[in-house]
Protein backbone atom coordinates (compact mmCIF):
# COMPACT_ATOMS: atom_id res chain seq x y z
CA UNK A 1 0.00 0.00 0.00
CA UNK A 2 1.38 3.36 -1.03
CA UNK A 3 -0.04 6.30 0.94
CA UNK A 4 0.66 10.03 1.03
CA UNK A 5 -1.03 13.10 2.50
CA UNK A 6 -0.79 16.65 1.13
CA UNK A 7 -1.83 19.04 3.88
CA UNK A 8 -2.35 22.74 4.56
CA UNK A 9 -3.62 23.37 1.02
CA UNK A 10 -6.39 25.46 -0.47
CA UNK A 11 -8.20 22.63 -2.23
CA UNK A 12 -9.97 23.74 -5.39
CA UNK A 13 -12.94 21.38 -5.48
CA UNK A 14 -15.55 21.37 -8.24
CA UNK A 15 -17.75 24.04 -6.61
CA UNK A 16 -15.79 25.54 -3.72
CA UNK A 17 -12.36 26.13 -2.19
CA UNK A 18 -11.72 24.33 1.09
CA UNK A 19 -8.65 24.53 3.34
CA UNK A 20 -7.51 21.08 4.30
CA UNK A 21 -5.66 17.97 3.22
CA UNK A 22 -5.93 15.17 0.71
CA UNK A 23 -5.06 11.57 1.48
CA UNK A 24 -3.84 9.53 -1.50
CA UNK A 25 -3.56 5.76 -1.62
CA UNK A 26 -2.30 3.67 -4.52
CA UNK A 27 -2.67 6.48 -7.02
CA UNK A 28 -6.22 7.44 -6.08
CA UNK A 29 -7.71 10.11 -3.84
CA UNK A 30 -8.85 8.35 -0.70
CA UNK A 31 -10.32 11.23 1.29
CA UNK A 32 -10.48 14.99 1.70
CA UNK A 33 -10.05 16.21 5.27
CA UNK A 34 -10.41 19.56 7.01
CA UNK A 35 -9.57 18.53 10.58
CA UNK A 36 -6.29 17.75 12.32
CA UNK A 37 -3.30 17.27 10.04
CA UNK A 38 -2.30 13.60 9.83
CA UNK A 39 1.23 12.65 10.92
CA UNK A 40 3.79 12.52 8.12
CA UNK A 41 1.85 14.86 5.84
CA UNK A 42 3.61 17.08 3.29
CA UNK A 43 2.90 20.73 4.08
CA UNK A 44 1.68 22.71 1.06
CA UNK A 45 2.20 26.05 2.86
CA UNK A 46 -1.37 27.21 2.09
CA UNK A 47 -0.79 26.95 -1.66
CA UNK A 48 -3.64 26.01 -3.98
CA UNK A 49 -4.10 22.35 -4.84
CA UNK A 50 -5.94 21.77 -8.14
CA UNK A 51 -6.87 18.68 -10.07
CA UNK A 52 -4.27 17.92 -12.76
CA UNK A 53 -5.14 19.87 -15.89
CA UNK A 54 -6.64 18.13 -18.92
CA UNK A 55 -5.54 19.52 -22.29
CA UNK A 56 -7.54 18.48 -25.36
CA UNK A 57 -5.91 20.37 -28.21
CA UNK A 58 -2.24 21.22 -28.39
CA UNK A 59 0.19 21.10 -31.29
CA UNK A 60 3.05 22.14 -28.99
CA UNK A 61 5.01 18.93 -29.73
CA UNK A 62 5.44 19.97 -33.38
CA UNK A 63 7.62 22.90 -32.38
CA UNK A 64 10.00 20.46 -30.69
CA UNK A 65 10.13 18.20 -33.76
CA UNK A 66 10.86 21.15 -36.05
CA UNK A 67 12.48 23.78 -33.81
CA UNK A 68 13.60 25.85 -36.81
CA UNK A 69 12.12 25.87 -40.35
CA UNK A 70 14.71 23.45 -41.77
CA UNK A 71 15.81 21.70 -38.57
CA UNK A 72 14.35 18.30 -37.77
CA UNK A 73 14.90 17.03 -34.22
CA UNK A 74 14.97 13.41 -33.05
CA UNK A 75 11.25 12.55 -32.58
CA UNK A 76 11.66 10.77 -29.23
CA UNK A 77 13.80 13.59 -27.85
CA UNK A 78 11.16 16.04 -29.13
CA UNK A 79 8.37 14.17 -27.35
CA UNK A 80 10.33 14.08 -24.07
CA UNK A 81 11.06 17.82 -24.17
CA UNK A 82 7.41 18.54 -24.95
CA UNK A 83 6.27 16.23 -22.14
CA UNK A 84 8.52 17.97 -19.61
CA UNK A 85 7.02 21.35 -20.46
CA UNK A 86 3.47 19.96 -20.42
CA UNK A 87 3.93 18.41 -16.95
CA UNK A 88 5.67 21.52 -15.58
CA UNK A 89 2.62 23.49 -16.74
CA UNK A 90 0.38 21.41 -14.47
CA UNK A 91 -1.09 19.29 -17.28
CA UNK A 92 -1.38 15.61 -16.31
CA UNK A 93 -3.50 14.49 -19.27
CA UNK A 94 -2.69 15.79 -22.73
CA UNK A 95 -4.25 15.02 -26.08
CA UNK A 96 -1.44 15.58 -28.56
CA UNK A 97 -3.14 17.02 -31.61
CA UNK A 98 -1.36 15.56 -34.62
CA UNK A 99 -2.02 16.99 -38.06
CA UNK A 100 -3.42 14.57 -40.59
CA UNK A 101 -3.05 17.14 -43.26
CA UNK A 102 -1.56 15.39 -46.28
CA UNK A 103 -1.01 18.24 -48.68
CA UNK A 104 2.56 18.66 -49.89
CA UNK A 105 1.67 21.82 -51.80
CA UNK A 106 -0.03 23.69 -48.98
CA UNK A 107 2.20 25.90 -46.94
CA UNK A 108 2.90 24.88 -43.34
CA UNK A 109 0.33 22.13 -43.34
CA UNK A 110 2.19 18.92 -43.98
CA UNK A 111 2.25 16.84 -40.83
CA UNK A 112 4.28 14.12 -39.21
CA UNK A 113 1.47 12.33 -37.41
CA UNK A 114 2.76 8.75 -37.83
CA UNK A 115 6.28 9.75 -36.72
CA UNK A 116 5.04 11.55 -33.62
CA UNK A 117 2.45 8.87 -32.75
CA UNK A 118 5.26 6.30 -32.93
CA UNK A 119 7.58 8.38 -30.74
CA UNK A 120 4.83 8.93 -28.15
CA UNK A 121 4.15 5.17 -28.06
CA UNK A 122 7.88 4.49 -27.68
CA UNK A 123 8.20 6.99 -24.82
CA UNK A 124 5.12 5.55 -23.10
CA UNK A 125 6.43 1.99 -23.43
CA UNK A 126 9.73 3.10 -21.87
CA UNK A 127 7.89 4.60 -18.89
CA UNK A 128 9.48 7.92 -19.79
CA UNK A 129 6.42 10.18 -19.81
CA UNK A 130 5.42 12.47 -16.96
CA UNK A 131 1.91 13.32 -18.22
CA UNK A 132 -0.50 10.83 -19.75
CA UNK A 133 -0.42 11.39 -23.51
CA UNK A 134 -3.45 10.51 -25.62
CA UNK A 135 -3.85 11.01 -29.35
CA UNK A 136 -6.01 13.58 -31.10
CA UNK A 137 -6.00 13.51 -34.91
CA UNK A 138 -6.61 16.87 -36.57
CA UNK A 139 -8.14 15.79 -39.84
CA UNK A 140 -8.17 18.34 -42.65
CA UNK A 141 -11.17 17.27 -44.71
CA UNK A 142 -10.26 19.07 -47.94
CA UNK A 143 -7.33 16.80 -48.72
CA UNK A 144 -7.21 13.70 -50.85
CA UNK A 145 -5.97 10.97 -48.49
CA UNK A 146 -6.98 12.22 -45.04
CA UNK A 147 -9.52 9.43 -44.43
CA UNK A 148 -7.17 6.57 -45.23
CA UNK A 149 -4.29 8.23 -43.37
CA UNK A 150 -6.44 8.77 -40.27
CA UNK A 151 -7.85 5.23 -40.40
CA UNK A 152 -4.34 3.79 -40.60
CA UNK A 153 -3.38 5.79 -37.50
CA UNK A 154 -6.52 4.69 -35.67
CA UNK A 155 -5.68 1.06 -36.48
CA UNK A 156 -2.05 1.40 -35.35
CA UNK A 157 -2.61 3.51 -32.22
CA UNK A 158 -5.25 4.14 -29.61
CA UNK A 159 -6.68 7.40 -30.90
CA UNK A 160 -9.15 9.06 -28.48
CA UNK A 161 -10.23 12.20 -30.30
CA UNK A 162 -10.71 13.18 -33.93
CA UNK A 163 -11.38 16.75 -35.01
CA UNK A 164 -12.95 17.56 -38.34
CA UNK A 165 -11.20 20.58 -39.79
CA UNK A 166 -11.54 22.56 -42.98
CA UNK A 167 -9.27 25.55 -43.45
CA UNK A 168 -10.41 26.27 -46.99
CA UNK A 169 -10.16 30.03 -47.59
CA UNK A 170 -13.48 31.87 -47.50
CA UNK A 171 -15.15 30.01 -44.62
CA UNK A 172 -14.89 29.10 -40.91
CA UNK A 173 -11.51 30.32 -39.50
CA UNK A 174 -10.90 32.38 -42.63
CA UNK A 175 -14.26 34.01 -43.37
CA UNK A 176 -12.79 35.89 -46.30
CA UNK A 177 -10.17 34.75 -48.80
CA UNK A 178 -8.24 37.97 -48.08
CA UNK A 179 -8.01 36.99 -44.39
CA UNK A 180 -6.55 33.59 -45.40
CA UNK A 181 -4.02 35.22 -47.74
CA UNK A 182 -2.92 37.77 -45.16
CA UNK A 183 -2.52 35.14 -42.40
CA UNK A 184 -0.34 32.73 -44.39
CA UNK A 185 1.64 35.39 -46.23
CA UNK A 186 2.57 36.90 -42.88
CA UNK A 187 3.37 33.48 -41.38
CA UNK A 188 5.61 32.32 -44.23
CA UNK A 189 7.47 34.06 -46.99
CA UNK A 190 5.30 33.27 -49.98
CA UNK A 191 4.56 35.61 -52.84
CA UNK A 192 1.14 36.82 -53.95
CA UNK A 193 1.47 34.69 -57.11
CA UNK A 194 2.22 31.54 -55.12
CA UNK A 195 -0.71 32.40 -52.89
CA UNK A 196 -3.05 32.59 -55.92
CA UNK A 197 -2.13 29.00 -56.76
CA UNK A 198 -2.57 27.83 -53.18
CA UNK A 199 -6.01 29.46 -52.86
CA UNK A 200 -7.16 27.99 -56.15
CA UNK A 201 -5.97 24.49 -55.28
CA UNK A 202 -7.54 24.67 -51.82
CA UNK A 203 -10.93 25.66 -53.24
CA UNK A 204 -10.68 22.83 -55.75
CA UNK A 205 -9.74 20.29 -53.05
CA UNK A 206 -12.65 21.42 -50.87
CA UNK A 207 -15.11 20.83 -53.72
CA UNK A 208 -13.69 17.42 -54.47
CA UNK A 209 -12.93 15.91 -51.07
CA UNK A 210 -14.53 17.60 -48.04
CA UNK A 211 -18.02 16.08 -47.98
CA UNK A 212 -16.97 12.49 -48.63
CA UNK A 213 -14.12 12.67 -46.09
CA UNK A 214 -16.44 14.04 -43.42
CA UNK A 215 -18.93 11.19 -43.90
CA UNK A 216 -16.18 8.57 -43.89
CA UNK A 217 -14.32 9.94 -40.86
CA UNK A 218 -17.47 10.38 -38.78
CA UNK A 219 -18.31 6.71 -39.46
CA UNK A 220 -14.74 5.59 -38.72
CA UNK A 221 -14.71 7.45 -35.39
CA UNK A 222 -18.11 6.15 -34.29
CA UNK A 223 -17.17 2.57 -35.23
CA UNK A 224 -14.14 2.80 -32.92
CA UNK A 225 -15.75 4.75 -30.08
CA UNK A 226 -13.54 7.78 -30.77
CA UNK A 227 -14.84 11.17 -29.54
CA UNK A 228 -15.49 13.73 -32.31
CA UNK A 229 -14.79 17.45 -32.32
CA UNK A 230 -15.87 20.01 -34.88
CA UNK A 231 -13.50 22.90 -35.62
CA UNK A 232 -13.97 26.59 -36.36
CA UNK A 233 -17.75 26.32 -36.69
CA UNK A 234 -19.15 29.67 -37.84
CA UNK A 235 -22.75 29.19 -38.96
CA UNK A 236 -26.04 27.58 -38.01
CA UNK A 237 -25.44 25.04 -40.81
CA UNK A 238 -22.03 24.08 -39.38
CA UNK A 239 -23.53 23.44 -35.94
CA UNK A 240 -26.49 21.48 -37.37
CA UNK A 241 -24.01 19.26 -39.17
CA UNK A 242 -21.99 18.81 -35.97
CA UNK A 243 -25.11 17.81 -34.05
CA UNK A 244 -26.14 15.25 -36.65
CA UNK A 245 -22.58 13.88 -36.75
CA UNK A 246 -22.61 13.26 -32.99
CA UNK A 247 -19.88 15.78 -32.20
CA UNK A 248 -19.09 16.24 -28.47
CA UNK A 249 -16.74 19.24 -28.61
CA UNK A 250 -16.84 22.44 -30.68
CA UNK A 251 -13.23 23.62 -31.01
CA UNK A 252 -12.73 27.35 -31.51
CA UNK A 253 -16.15 28.39 -32.87
CA UNK A 254 -15.48 31.61 -34.75
CA UNK A 255 -18.79 33.37 -34.06
CA UNK A 256 -20.93 33.88 -30.99
CA UNK A 257 -23.89 32.39 -32.87
CA UNK A 258 -22.08 29.09 -33.47
CA UNK A 259 -20.88 28.98 -29.86
CA UNK A 260 -24.41 29.55 -28.53
CA UNK A 261 -26.02 26.96 -30.78
CA UNK A 262 -23.33 24.40 -29.86
CA UNK A 263 -23.47 25.08 -26.13
CA UNK A 264 -27.29 24.93 -26.11
CA UNK A 265 -27.14 21.59 -27.93
CA UNK A 266 -24.86 20.13 -25.23
CA UNK A 267 -21.73 20.33 -27.38
CA UNK A 268 -18.88 21.61 -25.18
CA UNK A 269 -17.42 24.86 -26.46
CA UNK A 270 -13.60 24.92 -26.39
CA UNK A 271 -11.59 28.12 -26.82
CA UNK A 272 -7.90 28.94 -26.62
CA UNK A 273 -6.33 29.97 -23.34
CA UNK A 274 -3.88 32.20 -25.28
CA UNK A 275 -6.91 33.98 -26.77
CA UNK A 276 -8.16 34.63 -23.22
CA UNK A 277 -4.93 35.85 -21.63
CA UNK A 278 -4.03 37.94 -24.70
CA UNK A 279 -7.51 39.46 -24.76
CA UNK A 280 -8.51 38.31 -28.25
CA UNK A 281 -8.10 35.87 -31.14
CA UNK A 282 -4.85 36.00 -33.15
CA UNK A 283 -6.87 35.51 -36.34
CA UNK A 284 -9.46 38.16 -35.45
CA UNK A 285 -12.46 35.93 -34.67
CA UNK A 286 -14.74 35.92 -31.59
CA UNK A 287 -12.91 36.26 -28.25
CA UNK A 288 -12.90 33.60 -25.52
CA UNK A 289 -13.68 36.24 -22.92
CA UNK A 290 -16.83 37.44 -24.70
CA UNK A 291 -18.06 33.84 -24.81
CA UNK A 292 -17.27 33.45 -21.10
CA UNK A 293 -19.29 36.60 -20.36
CA UNK A 294 -22.28 35.04 -22.10
CA UNK A 295 -21.87 31.74 -20.23
CA UNK A 296 -20.96 29.93 -23.47
CA UNK A 297 -17.37 28.93 -22.66
CA UNK A 298 -17.05 25.35 -21.41
CA UNK A 299 -13.41 24.35 -21.98
CA UNK A 300 -10.08 26.13 -22.30
CA UNK A 301 -7.16 24.69 -24.25
CA UNK A 302 -3.52 25.77 -24.17
CA UNK A 303 -3.41 25.47 -27.99
CA UNK A 304 0.19 26.56 -28.68
CA UNK A 305 1.45 27.69 -25.21
CA UNK A 306 1.23 24.99 -22.47
CA UNK A 307 1.55 27.38 -19.53
CA UNK A 308 -1.39 29.45 -20.76
CA UNK A 309 -3.85 26.85 -19.49
CA UNK A 310 -3.20 27.33 -15.78
CA UNK A 311 -2.71 31.07 -16.24
CA UNK A 312 -6.11 31.37 -17.95
CA UNK A 313 -7.81 29.49 -15.10
CA UNK A 314 -6.54 32.12 -12.63
CA UNK A 315 -6.95 35.03 -15.06
CA UNK A 316 -10.59 34.42 -16.00
CA UNK A 317 -12.08 35.09 -12.52
CA UNK A 318 -10.08 38.34 -12.40
CA UNK A 319 -11.48 39.43 -15.76
CA UNK A 320 -15.02 38.25 -15.09
CA UNK A 321 -16.38 38.80 -11.57
CA UNK A 322 -19.26 36.40 -12.25
CA UNK A 323 -16.88 33.47 -12.68
CA UNK A 324 -15.34 31.85 -9.59
CA UNK A 325 -11.95 30.13 -9.47
CA UNK A 326 -13.57 26.68 -9.11
CA UNK A 327 -15.71 27.42 -12.19
CA UNK A 328 -12.67 28.49 -14.21
CA UNK A 329 -10.68 25.46 -13.00
CA UNK A 330 -13.50 23.17 -14.15
CA UNK A 331 -12.91 24.51 -17.69
CA UNK A 332 -9.39 23.03 -17.63
CA UNK A 333 -10.10 19.86 -15.64
CA UNK A 334 -13.51 18.24 -15.08
CA UNK A 335 -15.31 19.50 -18.19
CA UNK A 336 -12.61 18.57 -20.74
CA UNK A 337 -12.16 15.19 -19.01
CA UNK A 338 -15.89 14.49 -19.23
CA UNK A 339 -16.15 15.70 -22.82
CA UNK A 340 -13.39 13.25 -23.76
CA UNK A 341 -15.11 10.43 -21.83
CA UNK A 342 -12.44 10.31 -19.12
CA UNK A 343 -14.54 9.88 -16.00
CA UNK A 344 -11.75 8.85 -13.63
CA UNK A 345 -10.12 12.28 -13.31
CA UNK A 346 -10.59 16.04 -13.46
CA UNK A 347 -11.72 16.69 -9.90
CA UNK A 348 -10.38 16.39 -6.36
CA UNK A 349 -12.85 13.81 -5.13
CA UNK A 350 -12.56 10.43 -3.39
CA UNK A 351 -12.05 7.53 -5.80
CA UNK A 352 -10.65 9.62 -8.65
CA UNK A 353 -7.07 9.56 -9.88
CA UNK A 354 -4.65 11.48 -7.71
CA UNK A 355 -3.66 13.85 -10.52
CA UNK A 356 -2.85 17.05 -8.63
CA UNK A 357 -1.11 20.39 -9.08
CA UNK A 358 0.22 22.59 -6.29
CA UNK A 359 0.10 26.26 -7.27
CA UNK A 360 1.38 29.46 -5.71
CA UNK A 361 1.03 32.93 -7.24
CA UNK A 362 3.80 35.31 -8.29
CA UNK A 363 1.83 38.50 -8.77
CA UNK A 364 -0.90 37.50 -11.20
CA UNK A 365 1.00 34.56 -12.69
CA UNK A 366 0.51 31.07 -11.27
CA UNK A 367 3.65 29.16 -10.33
CA UNK A 368 3.58 25.36 -10.44
CA UNK A 369 5.25 24.04 -7.29
CA UNK A 370 4.48 20.35 -7.63
CA UNK A 371 2.67 17.96 -9.95
CA UNK A 372 1.50 14.43 -9.17
CA UNK A 373 0.10 11.96 -11.66
CA UNK A 374 -1.74 9.05 -10.06
CA UNK A 375 0.00 9.88 -6.82
CA UNK A 376 3.52 9.93 -8.28
CA UNK A 377 5.42 13.20 -8.36
CA UNK A 378 6.17 14.05 -12.01
CA UNK A 379 7.19 17.71 -11.82
FE1 LIG B 1 -8.55 26.36 -37.24
Pick from 14-23, 105-114, 166-175, 307-316: least confident: 105-114
**How far is the centre of ligand 1, averaged over its atoms, from the C-alpha of 23 (Å)?**
42
Instruction: State the pLDDT at residue 104.
Output: 60
For residue 359, tell me if it sits in a domain.
no
Please give the distance, rounded to the nearest whole angstrom, from the Cα atom of residue 166 to the centre of ligand 1: 8
Percent of the chain with pLDDT over 90: 84
CB 309 within 8 A of CB 95: no
Residue 252, in any domain of the structure = yes
In a domain, 14, yes or no: no
Mean pLDDT confidence for 254-279: 96
DSSP β-bridge partners for residue 66: none
SS3 281: coil
Q: pLDDT tens digits for 73-113?
A: 999 999 999 999 999 999 999 999 999 987 665 544 466 89
pLDDT at 31 over 60: yes
| Torsion of Cα atoms, 73 then 76 then 78 then 84, to 10° | -160
Which of 153, 112, 158 lies closest to 134, judged by CA?
158
Query: How far lies 39's CA from each of 4, 44, 267, in Å?
Result: 10, 14, 45
Q: How many CA atoms lie within 13 A of 81 on its CB side?
A: 15
Q: Provide the 8-state DSSP code for 71.
A: B
pLDDT at 174: 87
47 belongs to a structural domain: no
24 CA distance to ligand 1 centroid (A)?
40
Phi-psi region of 14 (alpha: psi -120 to 50; beta: other; left: phi over 0): alpha
Q: Quick check: is 307 in a domain?
A: yes
Q: Specify if 32 maps to a domain.
A: no
Going from the Cα of 304 to the center of ligand 1, the distance in angstroms, rounded, reads 12
Q: How far is the CA of 47 from the centre of ligand 1 (A)?
A: 36
Parallel/antiparallel/unpaired status of strands 376-377 and 365-373: antiparallel
| CA 219–ligand 1 middle distance (angstroms) | 22
Structural domain boundaries, residue 256: 52-344
3-state secondary structure of 177: helix
Q: Provide the pLDDT for residue 349.
A: 98
**d(CA 276, ligand 1 centre) in Å:** 16
Burial class of residue 279 (count of CB atoms within 10 Å of its CB; 0-12, 13-18, 19+): exposed
What are 282-302's pLDDT values in tens digits?
777 899 999 999 999 999 999
- Quick count: other Cβ atoms within 10 Å of Cβ 134? 20
Q: Tens of pLDDT along 228-239? A: 999 999 999 999
Q: What's the angle, vertex CA 151, arms to CA 147 and CA 155, rounded to 5? A: 175
pTM of the model: 0.95
Distance 183 CA to ligand 1 centre (A): 12
Average pLDDT, the chain: 94
Q: What is the pLDDT of residue 332?
A: 98
pLDDT score at 109: 46
Q: In terms of Cα–Cα distance, which of 52, 50, 57 is closest to 301?
A: 57
- Distance (Å) from CA 254 to ligand 1 centroid: 9
Q: Ligand 1 centroid to 361 CA: how many Å?
A: 32
* Number of domains forming the structure of the chain: 1
CATH, residue 263: 3.20.20.140
Task: Specify if 212 maps to a domain.
Answer: yes
Amino acid sequence: MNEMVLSNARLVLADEIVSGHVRIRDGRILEIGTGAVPAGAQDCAADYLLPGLVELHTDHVEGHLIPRPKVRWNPLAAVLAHDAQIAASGITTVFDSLRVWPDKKAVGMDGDAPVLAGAIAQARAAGALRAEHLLHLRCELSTDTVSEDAEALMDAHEVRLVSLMDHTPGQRQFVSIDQFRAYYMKKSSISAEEMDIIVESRLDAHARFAAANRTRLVAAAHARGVVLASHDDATDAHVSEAISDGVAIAEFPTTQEAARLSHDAGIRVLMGAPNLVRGGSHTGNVSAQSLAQEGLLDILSSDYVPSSLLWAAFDLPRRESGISLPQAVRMVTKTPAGAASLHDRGEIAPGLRADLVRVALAGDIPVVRGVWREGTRVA
